[in-house]
Amino acid sequence: MILLNCENLLKPLKNPLHIVQVLGLRFQTKCYIHGININKPVRVRFAPSPTGSLHLGGLRTALFNYLLARKTGGSFVLRIEDTDRKRHVPGAVESILTTLRWASLDFDEGPGKDSPHGPFYQSERTELYRDYAARLIKVLIKNAEGFAYRCFCTSERLKKVREIAQISGTNVLYDRHCLSLDMAVIEENLANGIPHTIRLKAVPEGVIKVNDLVYGSIEVSDKNIDDAIILKSDGYPTYHLASVVDDHLMKITHPPQFAHLPLLVNLDKTKLSKRSGDVSVENFMRNGYLPEAILNFVACLGWCPDTDKEIFTLKELILEFSPDQIGHSSASVLISKLDWLNKAHMKRKIESTEGLKELVKILKPLIQEKFSEELVTRGEKSKLDDEYLSKVILTIGDRIRKLSDISELCGYFFISPDYDSSDSLAFRVKIGEDNLKIISKAVAYYLKDLNTHERNNLESLKLCIDNVAKETGKTRDKVLMSLRYIITGTKVGAGVVETMCTLGDKIYMELAPFPPPTLENN
């Protein structure tokens, strides 16, 4: 079985079954019938093209194949379909491999792994494809009906064919100009080195029916079936030949059965484009989303488990997943839902020692990228230590959606507050400068009588705040609001006392003799 994105729905309909017949490929299809349990391990493959970084739809395809392989005790194969050299993007393969490792979707066979079924880059398998294309040509010589033929048409001629079809309002299909060339002409063209392609001959059948494991029976008129190019003039194969040959030689278990996944769409129902940077998995990685949350999110884009449960780990997905629960309707990508899932997975991790370590590992490079230079300059590299980062996560973790929120919204844990921002200035006005002066002096006074332990103890600090409120005649809320501004420069964040404890004795004592010069000069 092969799980594919729905946008490729017509790819397998361009006569791969004819290739299967000619090459003598025999696939076992009895192991899986839609809606019935699989009774033996499957070999499935994820075969991306290196035309850019992996997007959400591609990750979902990889995940579903991975889940099916793990659920049945089978094999998950990674194949890089890099035969379209014009669209090849340097670094794309490394990006795809990095993303799969980040998501813990470990492949059993693929690039960098020893296997009798390699190599796993299609660009390294071109001789195989040429050999199989030659077999199809030889069959044509022996069989009047044929299966493939050489096409010597120039790009200029093909352009004219397309223009004529467009003017007449008919389907843009090849006119089979080269189908019946004499063998003498073919041999002369080959001897003269005239560039050519090899086309698969579509056999008229009226209506071609294909059973898709998700969408059911699909019918396509043979009027819409072109004589697809299977080997290009540069010697590289197209998808139609290479995928079938590779699925055969790599012993993928269920072709020509296909399961096409529902499209991913935006809120306005427009197709989610993989050319949009914000749907790249790397973009979500850079923003501090957890791999567990991303996998949970993409799994539920089109898959409807028989449970009200919404939060799944990768192990739980393996147990719950079944292809017959994949729906037909397009799936809307709701980032708000992803944020909710990410927050839930963060909460799970915060509650365990190992989980907290994993969060620190993700957070550290985000903080280094944002604040490292300034922290080193100020001699405060300790703020990049695992222990301090753990404290920050424990303090603010239940208030954020993703770890990048810490670097973007809670910079005060690492550098001095930005008192000059418009939000901070508005907050200062709301509190009132007289209140800030009175409260800051009172806090500094009471802190003098606390030892180091007390200044980092929640109960001691709460008592200090109560005393300041009583001494100044200000409400406790006004004292907390003023302290929040003094130590963070912002009106939102974790609890004030908890934030004070996390910032620590040394840093807090530097902030205590407040107001800053900007206030004192007013």
Tokens, residue 185: 């002409």
DSSP secondary structure, 53-114, as one string: S-BHHHHHHHHHHHHHHHHHT-EEEE-B----TTT--TTHHHHHHHHHHHTT---SBSTTS-
Any idea which residue has 């739809």 for tokens?
57
Q: Where are the domains of the chain?
A: 2-125+242-262, 139-239, 277-349, 352-413, 422-520
CATH code for the part of the protein at 139-239: 3.90.800.10
User: What is the chain's Cα-based Rg?
Assistant: 32
Residue 60's H or E segment, with its range, is: helix 56-72
Asked about 381 being catalytic, the answer comes back as: no
Q: What is the pLDDT of residue 365?
A: 93
- Are 225 and 18 a contacting pair, CB within 8 Å? no
- Are 403 and 359 a contacting pair, CB within 8 Å? yes
How many CB atoms lie under 10 A from the CB of residue 508? 20
| The listed CATH number (3.40.50.620, 3.50.90.10, 3.30.465.10, 1.10.3720.10) that belongs to domain 2-125+242-262 | 3.40.50.620
Angle between helices 126-142 and 16-23 (to 10 degrees): 80
Q: What is the pLDDT of residue 512?
A: 52
Choose the catalytic residue: 30, 223, 232, 274.
Answer: 274
pLDDT in tens, 3-58: 554 444 334 334 444 444 344 333 333 333 343 346 689 999 999 999 999 999 99
Q: What is the pLDDT of residue 6?
A: 43
Q: Which residue has the higher pLDDT, 12 or 433?
A: 433
Closest CA to 290 of 333, 337, 346, 355: 346
% of residues, the chain, pLDDT over 70: 84
- Are 50 and 93 a contacting pair, CB within 8 Å? yes
Q: Which pTM value belongs to this model?
A: 0.82
Q: How high does pLDDT run on average in the chain?
A: 84
pLDDT in tens, 96-134: 999 999 999 999 999 999 999 999 999 999 999 999 998
* CATH fold for the domain made of 422-520: Arc Repressor Mutant, subunit A (1.10.10)
Dihedral angle computed from the Cα positions of residues 423, 426, 428 and 431, in that order, rounded to the nearest 10 degrees: -120
Q: How far apart are CA 146 and CA 249, in angstroms?
A: 23
- Are 356 and 395 a contacting pair, CB within 8 Å? no
Any idea which residue has 């299809």 for tokens?
29
Q: What is the pLDDT of residue 268?
A: 66
Q: Could you confirm whether domain 277-349 is CATH 1.10.1160.10?
A: yes
Confidence of residue 377 (pLDDT cuts 50, 70, 90): low
